[in-house]
Each structure stands twice: as structure tokens, then as C-alpha cells.
Chains A and B, each alone.
Chain A
Amino acid sequence: MTQITIRNAERSYGALKVLRDVSLDIADQEFAVLLGPSGCGKSTLLSAIAGLDDLQSGEILFDGQNVAGVEPADRDIGMVFQSYALYPSMRVRDNLSFGLETQKLPKADIRKRVEWAADLLQITPLLDRKPSALSGGQRQRVAIGRALVREASLFLFDEPLSNLDAKLRTEMRVEIKALHQRLGATFIYVTHDQVEAMTLATRIAVINGGVIEQFATPEEIYNRPASLFVAGFIGAPPMNLIPAVVRSDAGQAYAQLADGALTIPGLTAADGTEIVVGIRPEDLALCEEGEAADLTGKVVVAELLGADTLVWIEVAGQRIAVRLAPEDADRLDPVVRLRATADRISVFDAASTKRLELTR
């Protein structure tokens, strides 16, 4: 049972502000992912939650209790580090039991817990080895095991998979997800990998420059990004972002693009407002014969991804990605006409970079 509240957290190293007025509410048993580019402050925030790094102002509450000044060991947490940080001179067994020995647990309890964690992570045959005799994936399992044996109610992961190869990363991702469901503890997971964030999280906090841009479910983040940064960070390739100006014609507002116009239902912004129109690659489709086009452009290149094909099209000097079925992509004209799924378009204010809500 751990519910975490962060209120107005601030942290700076000299002149560099790493966290700016960060507030976050993480529910009990949640799998919260802190996602952002390197240097955005996500690891600093995790360190502060762990108690390894102090905040300059603001507070962190565990179940309503302020934990300022509480040692990391007394916060009932387990933590997994990017470099694994296994104790090199100890066998795997001693790595797992070290934290329990400092808690002065009875020997029988320690053995039971170590065996339980080793069994769960399938590292029992490795218990008598030194970390230097383990592969990257095995070290990762031991590092997770060391956090597990503490039977904590909050687990913190600091980019745990970034040192693994792609195949192993996918496997461990599934295991971590299963672990979360099995343990019923709160997980906070830091990563810069959006696939990890999308697949693991119950909610994602997208962080940029020490500010939380959006904290929402993966679906919400993907479908309704709260800012231009989130729109441009999530998705591979990210959302197409097309600059436009709001014009109105007989009371009906529409987006005037550099080359053409786009009717957006529910757009209410004032005439002359500079906006950015966001359309996901899969929300663009080829026009039927005789249908009016929203965008027209020249095909630059087509990339076959397997299930679908990514076609890059140049529209008014800007490259736009379109996700098409491979058979459609095979018989493209040099110039293509596209239409957008109107109710899936996002609109952002160009000045504030925030999402503009549409009245639908």
C-alpha cells in the first residue's frame, strides 16, 4: 500500500534547474512511467522519491506522510539501477541477502526470501556465482531480485533495460509487467524508451526540461497529447505537425495551411490565431476518385515496415508521414491526394504550445 504525492518539487544543480515545480499524484498499485529525453530530470525525480537526493523545495508524501529526512532504507522501497550496481565482491546469494542482513532478519527468513526471489526470477542456478560471471540479462535479473527480497510496497526502476540487447529487452519488459501484476505493489519506472512506457504503464508522466508536460494513460497520451512536445515525442514516427492559421468563413472556422485548407469540426479559436495541426500517420488516407483532398503532395520515399508501409510525402516543403496498407503503397501515383480523419485531428496553440480543446 503506497500512494505517492509530489508537491511543487524543485531541484537545481547550480544554475541548472532540473525540476521545476513538479507535482504528481501516483495511486496505490499503479505502474507509473516517467518518460522523457535524457537530461529532462526524470532520474533526479526518482532519486528524490528514493531519498537518495534532496529536494530544494516542495515535498514528497508516502500515504500522506511527508518523507523528508527519512533514510532510503526506511522508506520501504526496492530499487533497480541502470548499471545494475551489483556488489562485485559478493556472490549472487549475498547480493540478495545483504539488505536483509542489515535489517537483522532471522537467518531462516532470509534464506526463504532469497529462495523465493531466485525461484521467481529463475536465477536459482546462479546463486553461488559472482556477478562478473553473469551475462547482462542475468545481472539484470539479480538486480531485480535484490529489490524483490525486500518485499517493499514501492519499487523504483531507473532505466533498467537500457543496457540489454533488443530481444532481451522485450522479454524482460513482459516479465516486469507480469511481476507488477503479481506483486500488487506500486511501481515507478524511469525510461527514455516510449515503447517501454506505452507497453508497461498504467499512466505515463511525460517530462521535458524539468516540467511534467502530461500525466495520463498511454491511450490518452497517444490520442490526445497535451502539448506539442508530447505530440512530437510519442509515436514512431511521431505525429505530423503542420503549421496553420485560423480563418473563418461565414462563422465556420477552418485551418488555413500553407497549401490548402482543412476543415476541423469544433475549432473555435479566433480568426488569425496561429496554430499547429497534428495528425497521426495512420489518420491520413488516400482520397477516393473525385473526393476533395485535405493535403496534396509528392511521394519522397516509401518504407516497408511489415504490417504496413510508411510513405513520406512532401507537402508545401514539409515532410509528412502516412501509414498505408502495403498493397495501397505499391501502386501510388507520384503525386498523392490525402484526406484526414476529421475527429482524430489534434490542434495546438502555436504560441503556448498547449493543446486547444475542440468543441464536439
Chain B
Amino acid sequence: MTAARSARYRSPRHRQSIVRAQHFGLYLFLFTAALFFSIPLLIMISTSLKTAAEVRAGSVFALPVEPGFAAWTRAWGEACIGRTCEGISAGLWNSVIILIPSTVLSVGLAALNGYALSLWNVPRAGAILAALLLGAFIPYQVMIYPLVRMASTVGIYGSLPGIVAVHVIFGIPVLTLIFCNFYKGLPPELIKAARVDGAGFFRIFRRIVLPMSGNIIIVALILSVTGVWNDYLLSLIFAGRDNLPMTVQLASLVGTRIGVPEYNVNMAATLITALPPLLLYLLSGKYFVRGVTAGAIKG
């Protein structure tokens, strides 16, 4: 055997130690990356658990000496936004009221659109899809003024229907593309078989297509829920004074300039506001990844 050849045939133990070193390197990298991305979150949590005096005295990175939820209760129910001192709990209900119709309508309509565009012979389906793509990538700030004028002409400006309509309009393009891509992967013979069986457009959608759409509906819901929940600008403009959601309330709270800024309360309020989408990701992350890849491979 030559030297070069014997070098290639290494002992099993040697190979094992190489594998172990590679794993160590991999985990070290992953750990550092995770730490890096979670630092802001960790600081927020630690600050929110401190007392006001501790925040003023110590460094941002210092851990709370006597952790407590005083700041959280203040943020939830006592902190002053403008002249009212009810915390941000009032905004939660508004957010939910805006969220539910907006997501249900936009996901439902997008699923129906995607089904029609991908599985039925819609005239000029290609042009419609191109228009949707364009709609999904134009920055929405550009369209705000025309939308304000349109909403006030129809008489829904500054009301719940107004903000819901705007969310649905901005949600539909990208959600339709997602559904369209997913449905294109379904065998067209399925629709043919159902047509021979006498089912029409809506019955096929309800009985055959929707039951197969579980994963992709979850993906669409996550995108839609986070989009609507985290929105600030559209709600500020279109929702009207009575329907301001948590995000807008939070901005007012953080922006209030009376007395000493209560960083611990601000952090707690921010965390409370960010909690719903965060929980949604944690609970449905598995479906999200599965749905995204299903769409990617079949589309």
C-alpha cells in the first residue's frame, strides 16, 4: 500500500473524533448565533422585571436584583396614555376585533382566488397573477392617500369596517399567490373527476380542495395574523379614535413625555403587545415550515 492510499483509510476511532469535532463546531456556531439574536429580547425581559429605581441606577445588561411583575401590572392596567391611565389592556380588545375579520376575510378570499386562478380556466389568469405580484411588491405607503380618499368617499374612513377593508386589500395579493402556488401542485384530474361526479365550483372547493389545504391555511393565517397584529401605520390612519389597536396605544405610551420615562413599564408593554404573534410562531412553527416547503416543492 502506498502512503497516499493508507491516509485515506483511517481508523474508525479517528473518523469518529473528526465527526465529534465537526458537531462541536456546528453547535458552537448555532449557540452563538441564537444568543446574538436573543440579546435584545433578553434585555427587554430583564428590564421589565426591574423596579424603576433599579433601571435608573444600574447598567442595561445587569440582571434584576429583586425580579417582580410590578412593571407588567402597571403596563397592563395603570400606565398613562395621554390623559387616560388604563394601561394598554384597552387596545388588546381593539386589536382582536380588527384581527379576526381581517384575517378570516383575507385568508378565505385568497384561498378562493388561488383555487379559481390555478385550477379553473379563468380568462387572462396570467395577467391577473402578474397584477397581484405587482400589488404584493409595491410599498403600501404609496397607496395610502388614494385609499384615504376612497374610504372617505364610501364612508368607512375612521371606522372598524374601514381598517378591516384596508387590511384585506393589502393581504389578498401575497396570500393569493401562496394559495395559487400550492393549488397548482394538486393533480388537475382531481377536479375533472369531481366535475364528472357532478360537483360545481364551490362544492369542489368546500369538499375536496379545502380539506387538503390544512398546512397552507396555517401558513397564510400566520402571515396574516402577524401582519395585521403588528401593523401600526394603517391602523393609526384608518381605524379611527375608538378602534386604536395595541400597537398604536403602545407607541403613545412609549412616546408619553410626562415625568421620568419608565423604561421597565415600556418594556413590559412592548412584550405584552408582541406576545400573541410570538406564541403563534412557537405553537405552529412546525406547520409553518411544513406548509412553506410543501408549497415550494410542489409549486
A binds B: yes
A52 in complex: contacting residue of B190, B195, B197, B211, CB < 8 Å: B195
- When A and B form their complex, which 3 residue pairs have the shortest distance between CB atoms, in order from nearest? A99-B197, A73-B198, A89-B211
Cβ A102 vs Cβ B195 within 8 A: no
* B residues near A72, Cβ cutoff 8 Å: 192, 195-196
* A residues near B199, Cβ cutoff 8 Å: 73, 98-99, 102
Q: Measured between alpha carbons, how far is A195 from B231 in the docked complex, in Å?
A: 65
Residue of B nearest to A52 (CB): B192
Cβ A98 vs Cβ B196 within 8 A: no
* B residues near A82, Cβ cutoff 8 Å: 189
Q: Is B208 an interface residue (CB 8 A)?
A: yes
Q: Given A72-B195, A73-B196, 18 other A-B contacts at CB below 8 A? A: A73-B195, A77-B196, A79-B192, A83-B189, A85-B187, A87-B193, A87-B194, A87-B208, A88-B212, A89-B211, A90-B208, A98-B194, A98-B197, A98-B199, A99-B196, A99-B198, A102-B203, A103-B198
Known: A88-B212, A89-B212, A102-B203. A71 touches B195 (CB 8 A): yes
A81 in complex: contacting residue of B193, B203, B208, B212, CB < 8 Å: B193
* A residues near B196, Cβ cutoff 8 Å: 50, 52, 72-73, 77-79, 99
Q: Is A42 an interface residue (CB 8 A)?
A: no
* A residues near B211, Cβ cutoff 8 Å: 89-90
Q: Is A146 an interface residue (CB 8 A)?
A: yes
Point out which of B189, B199, B212 has the most chain A C-beta atoms below 10 A from its C-beta: B189
Q: Which residues of A contact B (CB under 8 A)?
A: 47, 50, 52, 71-74, 77-79, 81-83, 85-90, 98-99, 102-103, 146, 150
A83 in complex: contacting residue of B187, B207, B212, CB < 8 Å: B187
Cβ A87 vs Cβ B195 within 8 A: no
B192 in complex: contacting residue of A74, A78, A85, CB < 8 Å: A85
* 26 residue pairs from A and B, CB less than 8 Å apart: A71-B195, A71-B198, A72-B192, A73-B196, A77-B196, A78-B196, A79-B192, A81-B192, A82-B189, A83-B187, A85-B187, A85-B189, A85-B193, A86-B193, A87-B208, A88-B212, A89-B212, A90-B208, A98-B194, A98-B197, A98-B207, A99-B198, A102-B198, A102-B203, A146-B193, A150-B197
Residue of B nearest to A78 (CB): B196
B189 in complex: contacting residue of A81, A98, A102, A146, CB < 8 Å: A81
Q: Measured between alpha carbons, how far is A77 from B178 in the docked complex, in Å?
A: 35
Binary CB contact string for chain B from 148 to 191 against chain A (1 if under 8 A, 0 otherwise) = 00000000000000000000000000000000000000010110
* B residues near A50, Cβ cutoff 8 Å: 192, 196
Binary CB contact string for chain B from 207 to 242 against chain A (1 if under 8 A, 0 otherwise) = 110011000000000000000000000000000000
Point out which of B187, B189, B197, B212 has the most chain A C-beta atoms below 10 A from its C-beta: B197
* A residues near B208, Cβ cutoff 8 Å: 87, 89-90
Residue of B nearest to A149 (CB): B197
Cβ A73 vs Cβ B197 within 8 A: yes
* B residues near A83, Cβ cutoff 8 Å: 187, 189
Q: Measured between alpha carbons, how far is A47 from B192 in the docked complex, in Å?
A: 9
Cβ A79 vs Cβ B193 within 8 A: yes
Cβ B197 vs Cβ A102 within 8 A: yes
